[in-house]
Structure 1
Amino acid sequence: MAKRTVAEQPGTEGGTGRRQPCPCGSGKRYKACHGAAGGAANVIVSRPFAGLAAECELVALREFVPSATAKLSLRSGDRVVTLATVLPMAAAAMVRSDGQAFVGLQVQTRSGDVSRDLARAVEWAQQAEPGASLPAVGPEDAPEGTVPARLQDLVDPDALLDAELYDDFSWWMPDDVEPTGDVALSLERANAAIMPTRRLDAEGVHSAYWVDAGEKAHVRWVRPDPEEQLLAALARLSARGELALDADSRYAGSFRAHGLLVPVWDVDREKHAREWEQPAAAMGHRLEEVLTSLDSEPLDAAERRAREGLRGRQITVR
């Protein structure tokens, strides 16, 4: 499914020549990437969900949303596959006893391409028997001499994710099944560690979440903008004193995840998550306005200093 053999690549209609860019999106030529021996295992793809309309939401669900599911818009196959943040015992995929298939996002990466590993789990979930579980996906799962499928090969690239958030992980089990053994222990631990999380629902605000981390609450917003442009826009707002969401918040910094930048604000825990929707919408309008102006109005000296300060407050999530 969605695989091409190495031998088919050169000269086949619609195929990828060995000197052409690899279809995985790494930026390397095919012969030095997935076309090389062990290429699928060794290539690091820094932006694995590029080209998908759901890219920002995929990053949010993988990195910090604790309990959520979303149905995938697959191009083929009779079985519905549901994307999930976390599965029992951090499995890569499972098919419940009632036949519902799930693929986990928050799993340990075993290759350099999260999209490739996720696609392999999707393919397994489409064919596995009820009650089966896939502990992990590794590079060895791809047949030798093939270009492994990536998520971009399997789903509608224009489809968005309609994620449903939960306060616990009870959705792991069918309604008429009681968890036992390791699954019950995993469920208990997962429920104990969950952080209250709410999506911010406002015009112009996408893939932004309020998270109660205990001592602090945060707003985390996965942005689709190129990193340097977004950083410049944030710097301009910082120089203007307009980088906070409101008087009860402060800009904490940002982290890089899967090729995208995620700004983070510390916010007042006493306020309800809904109270941050309009401040986030206002921030979105300010950012769009500044992003539009950057080409015609380069950063001045004060804004460049602000940019360097913001750059020092970035971390990279791997």
Structure 2
Amino acid sequence: MTRPFEGLAAEGDLVALREFVPSATAKLPLRDGSEVTVASVLPMAAAAVRRTDGQAFVGLQVQTRSGDLSRDLARAIEWVQQAEQGASLPVVGPEPAQAEVPTRLQDLIDPAAELEVVLHEDFSWWLPEGTEATGDVALSLERANAAIMPTERLSAEGARSAYWVDPGEKAHLRWVRPEPEEKLLAALARLAARGELALDEDSKFAGSFRAHGVLVPVWDLDRDKHPREWNEPAAALGERLAEALSSLDSTPLDAAERRSRDGLRGRQITLR
């Protein structure tokens, strides 16, 4: 499935938690009135876990998946709703033989529901309070904590699904966008031709990568600035980008903007 979370208001955050957010959780209200917690990653990259305190989790960064991540997530939700305390689903298994139409996440949640993502400094939330990790879980916890990159979700209006990430040498803004790729590239090119694509003088556009059918533009940032300092520049950039997207309906790209688009199209980056 090229775009598994299409049609969901939570699409951007689901993609971010699946692709690059290290330790995060969010409550996922279901249509039947219950809820589960969706997580970036669970112990040993499990598909779902019902903790010994009864709290239900489903994971996005899983070991294996089918061609439709939305279907896999829906099946993990259905499993964890019936699971006993302490049970874990390592991977999503084969489709039940009697299933004529596979259930997808879009069938289980309100499409307009947005996620309130909670970022964690470590993975201690894997365990109920007062519980000590042992065995494989302890080893998985140690490895996961050692690999965490500092990450913050921007809170600016109009900058949903925009995350500040510090992988080491420099900080980045990774912004999951819902627009069709070609239209977004055209809007970014329009801003680039005007010299308006950076957030401020301490940033520059680095490129973009594709993830689950959407484009994720990335900016290099001055890592000496606190993540909160990027809220205002991101909000202003969001306004410029919205204007550029709107203008495409009436004004096609000129020659300079087309050259900028060609340059942006070649600037694909690889996450580290």
- Shorter-normalised TM range: over 0.9
Aligned counterpart in structure 2 of residue 313 of structure 1, from 260, 267, 272:
267
Pairing 1:56-67 to 2, within 5 Å after superposition: 56-67=12-23
In the superposition, the TM-score normalised over structure 1's length comes to 0.83
In structure 1, the residue matched to 2:215 is: 261
How far is the alpha carbon of 1:295 from its aligned partner?
A: 1.6
In structure 2, the residue matched to 1:90 is: 45
Is the contact made by 1:93 and 1:102 (CA closer than 8 Å) also made in structure 2? yes
Structure 2 distance, partners of 1:86, 1:46, is 22
Establish whether residue 73 from structure 1 lines up as the match of residue 29 from structure 2: yes
User: In structure 2, what residue type is equivalent to 1:129?
Assistant: E
In the superposition, the TM-score normalised over structure 2's length comes to 0.96
Structure 1 distance, partners of 2:269, 2:204, is 17
3-state DSSP of counterpart to 1:72: strand
Pairing 1:147-166 to 2, within 5 Å after superposition: 147-166=101-120
How far is the alpha carbon of 1:191 from its aligned partner?
A: 0.4
How far is the alpha carbon of 1:109 from its aligned partner?
A: 3.8
Is the contact made by 1:84 and 1:104 (CA closer than 8 Å) also made in structure 2? yes
User: In structure 2, what residue type is equivalent to 1:69?
Assistant: T
How far is the alpha carbon of 1:142 from its aligned partner?
A: 2.6
In structure 1, the residue matched to 2:90 is: 135
Structure 1 distance, partners of 2:52, 2:10, is 29
Aligned counterpart in structure 2 of residue 277 of structure 1, from 202, 218, 231:
231
Establish whether residue 234 from structure 1 lines up as the match of residue 199 from structure 2: no
Structure 2 distance, partners of 1:89, 1:202, is 34
Structure 2 distance, partners of 1:184, 1:316, is 30
Establish whether residue 118 from structure 1 lines up as the match of residue 96 from structure 2: no
Structure 2 distance, partners of 1:172, 1:297, is 51
In structure 2, the residue matched to 1:48 is: 4
Is the contact made by 1:208 and 1:219 (CA closer than 8 Å) also made in structure 2? yes
Structure 1 distance, partners of 2:99, 2:110, is 26
Structure 1 distance, partners of 2:174, 2:116, is 18
User: In structure 1, what residue type is equivalent to 2:218?
Assistant: V
Percent of pairs with identical residues = 75
In structure 2, the residue matched to 1:205 is: 159
Structure 2 distance, partners of 1:225, 1:269, is 28
Aligned counterpart in structure 2 of residue 224 of structure 1, from 165, 178, 181:
178
Structure 2 distance, partners of 1:163, 1:244, is 26
User: In structure 1, what residue type is equivalent to 2:2?
Assistant: S
How far is the alpha carbon of 1:108 from its aligned partner?
A: 3.1
Is the contact made by 1:256 and 1:316 (CA closer than 8 Å) also made in structure 2? no
How far is the alpha carbon of 1:225 from its aligned partner?
A: 1.3
In structure 1, the residue matched to 2:258 is: 304
3-state DSSP of counterpart to 1:277: helix
Q: 1:185 to 1:163 in 2, by over 3 A?
A: same
Pairing 1:25-40 to 2, within 5 Å after superposition: none
1:87-134 residue CA offsets vs partner (Å, 9 max, x unmatched): 000000000000001000111342100001010100001000000000
Is the contact made by 1:95 and 1:128 (CA closer than 8 Å) also made in structure 2? yes
3-state DSSP of counterpart to 2:73: helix
How far is the alpha carbon of 1:143 from its aligned partner?
A: 2.5
Q: 1:143 to 1:315 in 2, by over 3 A?
A: farther
Q: Which has the higher contact order (CA 8 A, sep 6+)?
A: 2
How far is the alpha carbon of 1:296 from its aligned partner?
A: 1.4
Q: Which has the larger radius of gyration?
A: 1
Structure 2 distance, partners of 1:182, 1:108, is 16
3-state DSSP of counterpart to 2:29: coil
In structure 2, the residue matched to 1:214 is: 168
Q: 1:137 to 1:316 in 2, by over 3 A?
A: farther
Superposed structure 1 runs of 4+ greater than 2 Å apart: 141-146, 314-317
Is the contact made by 1:67 and 1:165 (CA closer than 8 Å) also made in structure 2? yes
In structure 2, the residue matched to 1:193 is: 147
Is the contact made by 2:42 and 2:59 (CA closer than 8 Å) also made in structure 1? yes
CA RMSD of aligned residues (A): 1.4
1:200-233 residue CA offsets vs partner (Å, 9 max, x unmatched): 1112111100001011110000111111111001
Q: Which of 107-116 and 283-292 deviates more? A: 107-116
Aligned residues: 271
3-state DSSP of counterpart to 2:37: strand
User: In structure 1, what residue type is equivalent to 2:53?
Assistant: D
Q: Which of 239-248 and 180-189 deviates more? A: 239-248
3-state DSSP of counterpart to 1:279: helix
Structure 1 distance, partners of 2:10, 2:99, is 30
